[in-house]
Chain A
């Protein structure tokens, strides 16, 4: 009996979330169309699915909540000419100019007095605003800090006891990362050095993936599906790889032992290219997977509005299937959220493992 309830609870939760998600998408669509109407009244309002989807998955300078309500976020700009500027994003709403800056789509540009874009000033502008993604990242980081410090406290409070609560949730995952990722990919001897980084990366990606699946305020940002995040993580992995790599790793890249010179001419550029390709692949995999998940979920909802434009009844009919498919996709995304965190961490661990691998034959000679 209790088992049944346990199974239905998450299902119900996902169902409710999906409904909420659908409403937020709906209101966004409304928002979109009302904007179009106000600007171009003579045109018939047309639902643009592509624009809506892109709007949802790219970063924004404000955090859209529902309908016309949006949470303003701080905008921080550094210009080599004017220095640091900081103001709320509400000042830029609706294309207004504030302190010589204007928001065009999602980019902040410097403008002249007459309102035209000042290209020279824009090129000297560094936008370090707390955008939707940055804010979401801060929330997830606070969440992670709370999760892990409370787990650490629990370990200190009752050492040697069976885990419970947050500690019980995290312990199998920590052991999983330690045993199945770090130990198996790097090796029993040296895994400890990389373990804090691997654990942090794993939980960072996983928590942010899950936050991305939540359709309303604390989540909903497409952080891990943003290429900047994948790129930063991949660069960190790349740096750790080349900074901790041993002589053996470099020798295999520059001149593979036991390979004739003629072949080396071809092989070495490939190896060097491969060295850079590995983190690139890491970046693209995470970015593309998470982005695709968001696009698919949004596409199903857009289907409702596309059909509703033809006829209201059709819209309701399609909604049933769309919601059903989104529930299915939501389940899949829960798996993908974990899987991508696992794959990224595992590959990073494998690159580290390859960088510090000892050459056993050579050692035997000495």
Chain B
């Protein structure tokens, strides 16, 4: 029975001691300790957050770099392609120009050759005509130098007429 009979004295001292220790600890232990724990937790959380932010920033920076690099590469490719196009175009143009010039020259040459030829042919004809006349004159002069010969010719010519 003594076990379950609460003693007045113990309750009395318990109330005093517990009240006292609650008050003292609350004031001098729990408040500072809990405050410090809280502060430390916030500072740790902040440190973690800022690390996370730095990581994010790093990531975005890296992504930016990647993008710039990609753009540069693209631009380079574009420039190379443009250069190649221009070169090809130039070569093609040069080729067509050269071909045109050739053709023109050939045509001109042909024209002039033709003209020259015509001129030469005409000259030749004239020369041949002149030569033929001179020869005919000389022949005539030689044939008809004596009377007999003139008579023989007339006779021959007459003979031919007779035959007809």
Interface residues of A (CB under 8 A from B): 54, 57-59, 76, 105-106, 126-131, 133-134, 137-138, 141, 144-145, 148-149, 151-152, 155-156, 159-160, 170-171, 174-175, 178, 195-197, 199-200, 204, 226-229, 231-233, 236, 291
**8 closest residue pairs by CB, A with B:** A148-B29, A228-B6, A155-B36, A228-B10, A196-B26, A232-B14, A134-B13, A128-B9
**Contacting A159 at CB < 8 Å: which of B10, B11, B13, B39?**
B39
Stretch at the interface among B15-23, B63-71, B136-144: B15-23
B132 at the interface (CB under 8 A from A): no
Chain B residues 123-156 with CB under 8 Å of chain A are none
| Contact of B18 with A145 in the complex, beta carbons under 8 Å | no
* A58-B2, A196-B25 given; A155·B33 CB < 8 A: yes
Give the residue name and chain of the A residue nearest to B11 (CB).
A228
Q: State whether the Cβ of B24 lies closer than 8 Å to any Cβ in chain A.
A: yes
The A-contacting residues of B in range 1-53, CB under 8 angstroms, are 2-15, 17-18, 20-22, 24-26, 28-34, 36-37, 39-40, 43
Task: Name which residue of chain B comes closest to A231, CB basis.
Answer: B6
Complex contact A130–B10 (CB within 8 A): no
Which residue of A137, A145, A156, A175 is within 8 Å of B14 (Cβ)?
Answer: A137
A156 and B9 contact, CB distance less than 8 A: no
B18 and A204: CB pair below 8 A? yes
| 16 further contact pairs, Cβ within 8 A, besides A59-B7, A145-B25, A226-B7 | A57-B3, A59-B10, A127-B8, A128-B13, A129-B9, A141-B17, A141-B21, A155-B36, A156-B32, A196-B22, A196-B31, A199-B25, A200-B25, A228-B6, A228-B14, A232-B14
Min Cβ gap A77→B in Å is 9
**Complex Cα distance A172/B88, Å?**
79
Q: Chain B interface (Cβ within 8 Å of chain A)?
A: 2-15, 17-18, 20-22, 24-26, 28-34, 36-37, 39-40, 43
Q: Say whether, besides A195-B34, A236-B18, A128 and B12 are in contact (CB < 8 Å).
A: yes
Closest to B13 in A: A134
B123: min CB distance to chain A, Å: 121
A233: B residues at CB distance < 8 A: 18
Complex alpha-carbon distance, A148 and B36, angstroms: 14
Given the complex, which residues of A lie within 8 Å of B9, measured CB to CB? Answer: 76, 126-129, 131, 134
Q: Considering the complex, give the chain A residue whose CB is closest to the CB of B6.
A: A228
Among B4, B21, B32, contact of A200 (Cβ-Cβ < 8 Å): B21
What B residues does A106 contact at CB under 8 A? 2
Question: Residues of A contacting B8 with CB < 8 Å?
Answer: 126-128
Residue of A nearest to B10 (CB): A228
A148-B33, A149-B29, A160-B39 known; A131 vs B10 contact (CB < 8 Å)? yes
Given A128-B9, A227-B3: A149 touches B22 (CB 8 Å cut-off): no
What would 29 A/B residue contacts be, using CB atoms closer than 8 Å? A57-B3, A58-B2, A105-B2, A106-B2, A126-B9, A128-B13, A134-B9, A134-B13, A137-B14, A137-B17, A144-B25, A145-B25, A148-B29, A152-B28, A155-B33, A155-B36, A156-B32, A156-B36, A159-B40, A160-B36, A160-B39, A171-B37, A174-B37, A195-B34, A226-B6, A227-B5, A228-B7, A229-B14, A233-B18
Q: Can you name the residue of chain A whose Cβ is closest to the Cβ of B26?
A: A196
